[in-house]
């Protein structure tokens, strides 16, 4: 509902003029933020808090498709997240994410996007129930980029993340968490 409100506040691109997004084939983003697990959601038993730093490369795969506010472009995003677990242990998590994305291009100053995907994640954190240092990392999220000028955009992003070892070792208590991120795209 909030997402639809923000989308309706955007300024529509002019008819007949190609979207600036069609000219841009790739982007770099740097995101930072906070994550916390949801105890009791699924089999998540431990509250884990973390601080994230995520560099992202995004490559657009298509030209703009569709019409009206929902027109957009498909993209592939590659991230190399560095997460610092700060509770219950202090230790890093590192990985690589491959994400499929959809960027809405029908608005001029507000650019919503959605994505999903995952990848491998390594951690040396002593988190009860995780059971393995090598885990799978699956996630889905939404975000909004705000144009500040033609070269830079400010990001606000939310993602839901699931981390587990896929049953390769016991125990296998997953970490289901929310991540709140701010960043810059250029």
**pLDDT value of position 15:** 41
Asked if CATH classification 3.30.9.100 holds for the domain at 28-64+72-97+114-119+133-186, the reply, yes or no, is: no
Rounded to whole angstroms, what are the CA distances from 147 to 52, 109, 158, 186? 23, 5, 18, 10
Task: pLDDT band for 67, please (50, 70, 90 cuts).
Answer: confident
**pLDDT value of position 22:** 63
Q: Is the pLDDT of residue 155 over 90?
A: yes
Phi and psi torsions of 70, nearest 5°? -90, 0
pLDDT digits (tens, 9 = 90+) for 87-135: 999 999 999 999 999 999 888 889 999 999 999 999 999 998 888 999 9
User: Which residue is associated with the tokens 């994550």?
Assistant: 35
CB 92 within 8 A of CB 82: yes
Distance CA 133, CA 129 (A): 11
Sign of the dihedral through C-alpha 106, 110, 115, 120: positive
Judged by DSSP in three states, 122 sits in: strand
The two three-digit tokens of residue 86, written as one number: 């700060």
Domain boundaries, the chain: 28-64+72-97+114-119+133-186
Phi and psi torsions of 148, nearest 5°? -105, -35
Distance CA 85, CA 157 (A): 19
| Helix H or strand E encompassing 21 | helix 20-23
CB 185 within 8 A of CB 156: no
């Amino acid at each position: 509902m909030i997402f639809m409100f923000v989308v309706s506040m955007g300024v529509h691109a002019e008819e007949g003029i190609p979207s600036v997004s069609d000219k841009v084939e790739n982007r770099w983003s740097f995101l930072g933020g906070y994550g916390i697990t949801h105890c009791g959601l699924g089999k998540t038993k431990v509250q884990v808090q973390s601080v994230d730093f995520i560099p992202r490369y995004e490559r657009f795969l298509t030209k703009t498709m569709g019409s009206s506010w929902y027109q957009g472009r498909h993209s592939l995003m590659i991230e190399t997240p560095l997460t610092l677990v700060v509770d219950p242990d202090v230790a890093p998590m590192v990985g690589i994410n491959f994400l499929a994305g959809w960027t809405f291009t029908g608005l001029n100053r507000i650019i919503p996007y959605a994505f999903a995907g995952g990848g491998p994640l390594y951690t040396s954190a002593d988190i009860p129930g995780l059971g393995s240092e090598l885990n799978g990392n699956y996630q889905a999220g939404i975000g909004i980029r705000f144009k500040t000028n033609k070269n830079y955009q400010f990001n606000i992003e939310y993602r839901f993340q699931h981390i587990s070892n896929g049953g390769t070792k016991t125990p296998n208590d997953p970490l289901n968490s929310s991540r709140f991120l701010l960043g810059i795209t250029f």
